[in-house]
Amino acid sequence: MKTLKKSRESKGLSQRKLASLASISYKSLQLVEGGTSDPRLSTLEHIATALGYPAHILKEEIEAIFELPVDAIKMISIKICREGGASWKIWLFNFVDAFRHHKTKEYIEVAPISKTPEKIKALLASTVEMLCEEMEIKTPEWCRGVSELSEPWFVSGVENLKAMALVESPVHFRKRNIFVLENFLKRA
């Protein structure tokens, strides 16, 4: 777990010191940090507490994840960050299909994770705004905090379609400097 190692190192702790503070064995911490074990929640809570995080934070985050639908905005942002920027298409359209099918706010209420690239965050916010308008649902507050991109993004990436995207792109995308074709969210 690279994030655990980063967090430990940012606190200036050795593995032995953190293991001691967390009341776990040095070997257990090595395995967790190396990603070669499947630790218990209690072990992770001890490590998190030793690193200075509130004792309940890990349990609350895990509970929050299980409360959200698998294709909710927060969940797809996690998947995109984990799998890389090129994976956004599959996850975005899974979200679009699920949200249109279920029409519930639980898909859109929780914002993308903070590590989500700005480009993707802007695309997600624009998509959510357009779908909310389509379904006559109030847009979540987090969308308002997503600003426009500093440079235009032509989502199709096809040079010959840029002029058409400039003309056809819906306002929710254009306002964030994102250009898509009119049928971008149309599904067969």
**Full-model pTM:** 0.74
- Do 58 and 136 fall into the same domain? no
Q: What does the pLDDT look like over 67-96, one tens digit per residue?
A: 889 999 999 999 999 998 789 999 999 999
For residues 161 and 111, the answer to whether their CB atoms sit within 8 Å is no
Does 42 reside within a domain?
yes
- Do 16 and 103 fall into the same domain? no
Q: 155 — phi, psi (to 5°)?
A: -60, -40
The total number of structural domains in the chain stands at 2
Q: 69 — phi, psi (to 5°)?
A: -65, 150
At 67 the pLDDT is 85
- Do 164 and 114 fall into the same domain? yes
Residue 35 Rama label (left phi>0; alpha psi -120 to 50; beta) = left
15 vs 29: CA distance, rounded Å: 7
- Do 51 and 76 fall into the same domain? no
Find the range with the poorest average confidence among 37-46, 74-83, 115-124, 128-137.
37-46
CB atoms within 10 A of CB 144: 10
Does 186 reside within a domain?
no
Q: What does the pLDDT look like over 24-62, one tens digit per residue?
A: 999 999 999 998 888 888 898 999 999 998 878 888 878
- The average pLDDT across 3-7 equals 88
Token representation of residue 165: 């995207």
- Do 149 and 109 fall into the same domain? yes
| Domain containing residue 39: CATH number | 1.10.260.40
Classify 28 as helix, strand or coil: helix
pLDDT above 80 (res 1): no
Give the chain's largest Cα–Cα span. 62
Sequence-distant (≥ 6) Cβ neighbours of residue 42 within 8 angstroms: none
Q: Tell which wins on pLDDT, 86 or 172.
A: 172
Q: 134 — phi, psi (to 5°)?
A: -60, -40
At 22 the pLDDT is 93
Question: What residue numbers bound the domain in which 167 lies?
Answer: 68-179
Q: What is the mean pLDDT of the chain?
A: 92
- Do 145 and 103 fall into the same domain? yes
Q: What does the pLDDT look like over 147-161, one tens digit per residue?
A: 999 999 999 989 999
